[in-house]
Amino acid sequence: MMEPFDEEKRAKVLAVDDSKENLELIQALLSVAGYEVITASNGEEALIKVEEESPDIILLDAMMPKMNGFEVCALLKRKEETRLIPVILVTPVDESEYKVRGFEAGVDDFLHRPINCVEFLARVRSLVRVKRLNDELVNVENTMLALATAIEAKDPYTEGHIKRVASYALSLGKEMGLALWQLHVLRKAAFLHDVGKIGVSETVLLKPGPLTKEEFDQLKTHTVVGEKICRPLQQDRLIAEVIRHHHERYDGKGYPDGLAGEDIPIAARIMAIADAYDALTSDRPYRGRLSQEEALQILREGAGKQFDPKLALAFVSIVETGQLG
């Protein structure tokens, strides 16, 4: 038996084809190479199998009846739970038309018939490696999310803060027409934006009165510390960028780098507004929560100073029209 590399042992492959003969060939090749193979004969069945079996890689026939491979792939890549599963599209011929449609659907790689067995197994091995690396990054990300939640739990005044900030940021991001990948970055960054507070003393975080200059300087380090903690998320390196810059100001008077205007990443500008709104409308050790109208007035007054004016006014409109998530 041809043994797959160690990291590919027990890798599960879903093969999808409406031809019984094609499925039997693929299953034979993969089984001999040491992979676990599950099969589906159409697109609808494939979606069910993905949900039930959580495959490591999917081989999709491009030209199936009812729901073709392009449609199946597009559906999988739109879902958070399945978007990182590598998809190989098997086409009847090697034509650019298929590749263009495939790339638009999110396909990771292509094979054309007749299948070259050596090339086929090499492509599967390569994408299983990619899936394993993605899984490792997801595990790191989940650990960081757990850390962020644990930090939040230490402060009774910020309970639920990261979830609310994520909801507010996504509402504004959608209103501004951000792409799906940008919304993914925004959501993850919202959950992790205060993870750097692990390096800030609890006496500072929970102080019931104004902070001294030294205490405020210590608090400001949480953006840089958070960025360093999140650097392992290289797959979504923009997350660390948002964490570093979510306390920058539109007028350049923020921290840590004093960026101004559109030099501040748009996701960080959105995060600044969502974070500020939740802080204003929540109890803090040093003051009670403000009313919605009081908080919105502060956002209006800060437009063009602390906040991006276009984003700030759009957020105010979302809140006033009851569209806030």
- Mark whether 183 and 276 lie in a shared domain: yes
Range of the domain at 297: 154-320
pTM score: 0.64
- Mark whether 44 and 114 lie in a shared domain: yes
- Mark whether 160 and 301 lie in a shared domain: yes
186: Cβ–Cβ under 8 A, 6 or more apart, which residues?
A: 166, 169, 170, 173, 178, 242, 267, 270, 271
168-200: per-residue pLDDT in tens?
Answer: 999 999 999 999 889 988 998 999 899 898 888
- Mark whether 27 and 90 lie in a shared domain: yes
49: Cβ–Cβ under 8 A, 6 or more apart, which residues?
A: 14, 38, 40, 55
- The closest alpha carbon to 83, from 63, 58, 60, belongs to 58
91-102: per-residue pLDDT in tens?
Answer: 987 778 888 999
- Mark whether 82 and 179 lie in a shared domain: no
Residue 325 lies in a domain: no
CB burial string 105-133: b at 16+ within 10 A, e below: bbbbbbbbeebeeeebbebbbebbeebee
40-76: per-residue pLDDT in tens?
Answer: 999 999 999 999 999 999 999 999 988 999 999 999 9
- Mark whether 173 and 290 lie in a shared domain: yes
Of the residues 134, 168, 192, the one at which a domain ends: 134
- Mark whether 196 and 91 lie in a shared domain: no
- Mark whether 115 and 186 lie in a shared domain: no
Q: What is the pLDDT of residue 9?
A: 53
